[in-house]
Amino acid sequence: MKLNVRKLFSTAVIMGMFFLGLANVLLARAGQEQPKEPVKAQNYAVAAATSAINVDGVLDEKAWEDAVVIPVPYEWLPGDNIPSPVDTDCLVTFDTNNFYMAFRCFDPEPSKIRAHLMDRDAIDTFIQDDHINFMIDTFNDERRAFQFRANPLGVQADANFSESEGYEDFSWDAIWNSKGKITEWGWALEIAIPFNQLRFPRTSDVQTWGFSVGRSYPRTVRHRMTSHRRDRDLTCIQCQFNKITGIQGISPGLNVELDPTLTTIRTDSREEFPVNPSAPMENGKVDPDPGLTARWGITPNLILNAAVNPDFSQVEADVRELEVNTRFAIRYPEKRPFFLEGADFFLTPLEAVFTRTVADPDGGLKFTGKIGKNAFGIFGAYDRVNNMLFPSNQGSISTSVEQGVGSGVFRYRRDVGRTSNFGVLYTGRVSDDYYNHVAGLDGFFQISRTKQFRLQYLHSETKYSDEMAADFGQNTGAIGGNALFAEFMHFGRNWLYLFNYQDFSPDFRADYGYIPRVDMRRGNGVVGYTFWGEQGDWFNQLRLMLSGTLVYDHEGDLTDRNVNIRAQYQGPLQSTVMTQYQRAREFYLGEYYDLDQVIFFTEMKPLGGFRFNAVVQVGDSIDYSNARQAIGLNLLPFVEISLGRHINVTLQHAFQRLSLGGDKIFTANLSQVKLIYNFGVRTFVRVIVQYLDVTRSPDLYLFPISDKTQTVFTQFLFSYKLNPQTVLFIGYSDNYLGMTDIDITQTSRTFFVKLGYAWTK
């Protein structure tokens, strides 16, 4: 293995000098502009609790009588900093080990409060309920914050929020306590967050934190209220937060968390299917898989995570997507807890770090933290499976290789000025006959109140094994490539305009990330204007947008061109309607195709516990299997219904049809039904059924193909969560497959039990 270190180093030095020079120019210009300062939010002095607090949803302790009260007086959507339609009091205090909050959410019609039981972080369902949300900027640097939400029943959601990356990740989990209670005057909520779940400066001095409280009050419209003004002509959110001070003498304790797990799986399968469809189901072996994940807060702002045979299993089934007539690999989100600690430290404009490429590691180590203006993250793992993605301009291929691979990521970010930053990234994957190294620089620059600029440069060095290169059409020798991303954005009250440029050379590879297309130079521009409604208007928001994209390969040939015109309406009954016309030209396998399409989207949430949306896409399309133009129709309806507080049902369907001269090339239907019964905040049972049916007309294909494919996936899950890591899952899933001349037949079944426990100190 030979890595061109000199080339990487010299490139990094040159780009570093360029970035620093650009940073100075942009920051100097920002200083010359002297932008109008936003209205200062009010500051609050927080005092230590004067009594013990029992988190039970009843605010009867003396500590709440003495706590500071922070009101929530502004509605920022759909109103523009108008008085809130209902009153909300937020009470804040703390002791040595916990940060406490309580809320009095007054409501003139308590019978209309929307509150349902659900799994934690089920955010699409959660935001339909009445709920409280608050964010804590513990470093008071207006860059990153911890976000917490809870509804009137105490159902929790939490997230990491990153200002510069526009990142809000609800996959992050903290262990905290909440309890709500609906009353005759509205609803009350109590919350306790252990300090060992937060990062904050290590100091004995009085600390000042950024702090924002919000309340969501969904009725015919969703009223969103806040404790401070939200300026629509200001892109930063955290710079408008309230400040709380007086926090002192706090301790994270030992700040140690141990999470042992035991996952036991047995999979039975028909090994001879489909050659012998009547072959019996063969019982598999019971496979117990113990693991341990540890978290140690060396200091409140330096966190070490380690794992031995970690449990990276997912009991949540990925919602399938139609993979018929597609060119590029589909991305599924990360849900595994080990990777989510400090995940925001590894964010960059290009997705060079995508942790689902780590499949089945023996162990892993992660170290993240922030000291002053410097933030860093280090991650390493040894994986038993090497997940590979081979990108090109015209498509991508993915595969998994049963070989050990060592991998690592290093990330450093330096805060510059008030809101800008500059960063360095390295990722590497190495095995006996393969390597991929990526290194580069990136920056985020806040030019003014409404203008931002992002930039990233990456260089890669890759070497595939001879066998892998032959199987997937890759070069047998070492290859190197570059990637560049640049984006300028203005986002104001009315005008939005954005311009970005991306350049990926043909041999650029980011095997630790998700970059499914290379060999392209892509320019994109968006211009939009927003009309805001007033109280009583027939609309809350109207937006008109025009966008265009040009893509050339590195030979200078045009491969993609499109222009989009979009109109979007938001109004009463929490309704959204969007219509888009798209005119495109696409190059595929030596031919150009001119495509006209219309896209329609609508969504409505007229009642508590009911949500409906649908997408319709119709027009010209490319039949990628046979390399010709066709007519496509895509339909994606979705319905979610909550029956009482305990039952939630979602129905979703994806229909895709491709036609040639009025004859159907194929028709694909993918349906999913999900039924959940919630016994309480911690326990539920869930049933998922996914059904795929693809029918084809073989005489319209240029190669032999089956005229029918059917699959069925079912899953049953019992879930008990004392907290995100102390869990019991008991489940069963199976798969069915049907093809031409083969009736739909069960091909495998899996039984699984997972036990997890979180020990914190």
What is the DSSP code string of 149-163? EE-TT--EEEEEEET
d(Cα 724, Cα 107) in Å, to the nearest integer? 31
Q: Do the beta carbons of residue 252 and residue 297 sit within 8 Å?
A: yes
386/689: higher pLDDT: 689
Residue 207: partners with Cβ closer than 8 Å, 6 or more residues away: 138, 140, 200, 201, 245, 247, 248, 250
- Model confidence band, residue 335 (pLDDT cutoffs 50, 70, 90): low
pLDDT score at 22: 44
Model confidence at 14: pLDDT above 60: no
315/289: higher pLDDT: 289
d(Cα 698, Cα 665) in Å, to the nearest integer? 8
- Model confidence band, residue 12 (pLDDT cutoffs 50, 70, 90): very low
Q: What is the overall mean pLDDT for the chain?
A: 89
pLDDT score at 326: 56
Between 13-17, 197-201, 472-476, the lowest mean confidence (pLDDT) is in 13-17
Model confidence at 693: pLDDT above 80: yes
DSSP string, 575-641: EEEEEEEEEEEEEETTEEEEEEEEEEEEEEEEETTEEEEEEEEEEEEEETTTTEEEEEEEEEEEEEE
362/157: higher pLDDT: 157
pLDDT digits (tens, 9 = 90+) for 65-106: 999 999 999 999 999 999 999 999 999 999 999 999 999 999
Distance of alpha carbon 725 from the chain centroid: 20
pLDDT score at 545: 97
- Model confidence band, residue 6 (pLDDT cutoffs 50, 70, 90): very low
- Model confidence band, residue 396 (pLDDT cutoffs 50, 70, 90): confident
pLDDT score at 337: 63
pLDDT score at 386: 87
What is this structure's pTM?
0.86
CA angle in degrees (0–180, nearest 5) for 192-107-542: 100
Distance of alpha carbon 50 from the chain centroid: 40
pLDDT digits (tens, 9 = 90+) for 171-230: 888 999 999 999 999 999 999 999 999 999 988 899 999 999 999 999 989 999 999 999
Model confidence at 155: pLDDT above 80: yes
- Model confidence band, residue 37 (pLDDT cutoffs 50, 70, 90): low
User: What is the mean predicted confidence (pLDDT) over 732-737?
Assistant: 92
360/16: higher pLDDT: 360
pLDDT score at 347: 87
User: What is the mean predicted confidence (pLDDT) over 473-484?
Assistant: 94
Q: List the CATH code of the domain at 38-247.
A: 2.60.40.1190
pLDDT digits (tens, 9 = 90+) for 547-584: 999 999 999 999 999 999 999 999 999 999 999 999 99
pLDDT score at 307: 86
Percent of the residues in the chain that have a pLDDT greater than 70, as a whole number: 91
pLDDT score at 714: 94
pLDDT score at 171: 80
Q: Do the beta carbons of residue 105 and residue 132 sit within 8 Å?
A: yes
pLDDT score at 8: 43
Sign of the four-CA dihedral 65, 67, 73, 75:
negative
**How many C-beta atoms surround the C-beta of residue 62 within 10 A?**
12
Domain limits, CATH 2.60.40.1190, in the chain: 38-247
- Model confidence band, residue 5 (pLDDT cutoffs 50, 70, 90): very low
Model confidence at 436: pLDDT above 60: yes
Model confidence at 30: pLDDT above 80: no
User: What residues pair up with 178 in beta bridges, in sequence order?
Assistant: 191
pLDDT digits (tens, 9 = 90+) for 660-682: 999 999 999 999 999 999 999 99
pLDDT score at 384: 86
d(Cα 551, Cα 523) in Å, to the nearest integer? 7
pLDDT score at 1: 36
Q: Give helix then strand counts, H and E, for the chain.
A: 5, 42
d(Cα 474, Cα 498) in Å, to the nearest integer? 35
pLDDT digits (tens, 9 = 90+) for 300-330: 889 998 988 766 555 554 445 545 555 545 5
pLDDT score at 33: 40
119/202: higher pLDDT: 119
